[in-house]
Structure 1
């Protein structure tokens, strides 16, 4: 996260070239694609250093989220917009969140789940394709 925060700071202050250097460092050191242009909220953490995580540079991730290894958050072909993840979400290992969708606050996305539809607040999603299996949850029960 330190490399991301430095690169994001440089990007927000429109310092040329250096954010791209930090993007390359993240790719080399952590084997992931987490771009300086991405908006990631405070206190969001990546399990196992974010190994294998791919996040579209225009995606938005809320604060206090936990993102497992090998997670992909990205667009779909022929779709302009990309996923928006709410606050306090837990995204388990191997999950794929794809397309122009919104994941609400306090959600849990199960391991290897493929989410292609919007998810309301306080929901647990699992399966391929992802389906809501439980509503009105407290995400702290799943950390």
Structure 2
């Protein structure tokens, strides 16, 4: 699934018509993931269950070393923009990240959380709407 996206993204960057869209549709039908070729996806991004039910906004930016569980929505709210996900983020199953928000490095988004504000680095957020539970204590 991710390899098909990478080819579609490369073709999109080279401004090849029609073929990136066709690869996106193939991913949508076969893997049930909506990952447009215009999305920026970093290295070592893991889509749980090959991306089952994941929807990503066409202007979203995904950093490196991200784990995204099934049924996650990374989307916009109207014309206001798309989320930017930092490096080393864990996004739980069913979470919704909506609008022009930034998720900081090393953050954890709980299952079914609805994030509509910026999340600082190194915290865990849960709930509807998402709230910071506590800063993570490493060591």
Q: Which range, TM-score by smaller chain?
A: over 0.9
Which residue of the partner structure matches residue 65 of structure 1? 66
C-alpha deviation, 1:63, in angstroms: 0.6
Any unmatched runs of 5+ in structure 1? 139-143
Residue 121 (1) aligns with residue 100 (2): no
Give the Å deviation of 1:137: 4.7
CA distance in 2, matches of 1:20, 1:66: 25
Query: What stretches of structure 2 of length at least 5 have no aligned partner?
Result: none
- TM-score, L = length of structure 2: 0.95
Partner of 2:107 in structure 1? Answer: 107
Q: Which whole-Å CA distance do the structure 2 matches of 1:65 and 1:12 have between them?
A: 23
Question: Residues 72 and 95 of structure 1 are in contact (CA less than 8 Å); yes or no, is this contact kept in structure 2?
Answer: yes
Q: Is the 8 A contact 1:52 1:71 kept in 2?
A: yes
- TM-score scaled by length of structure 1: 0.92
Runs ≥4 residues deviating over 6 A: none
**CA distance in 2 between partners of 1:117 and 1:57 (Å):** 19
Structure 2 counterpart of 1:48: 49
Deviation at 1:80, TM superposition (A): 2.2
When the two chains are superposed, the root-mean-square deviation of aligned CA atoms in Å is 1.0
Q: 1:13 to 1:129 in 2, by over 3 A?
A: same
Q: Determine the structure 2 residue equivalent to 1:98.
A: 98
Whether contact under 8 Å (1:123, 1:137) holds in the other structure is no
Q: Does the 8 A contact of 1:124 with 1:137 survive in 2?
A: no
What count of residue pairs does the alignment treat as equivalent? Answer: 137
Residue deviations 1:62-106 (CA, integer Å, cap 9, x gap):
0110000000000112x4211110000000100000011100011
Once residues 11 and 106 of structure 1 are traced to their aligned partners in structure 2, the CA distance between those partners, rounded to angstroms, is: 30
Counterpart Cα distance in 1 of 2:62 and 2:21: 20
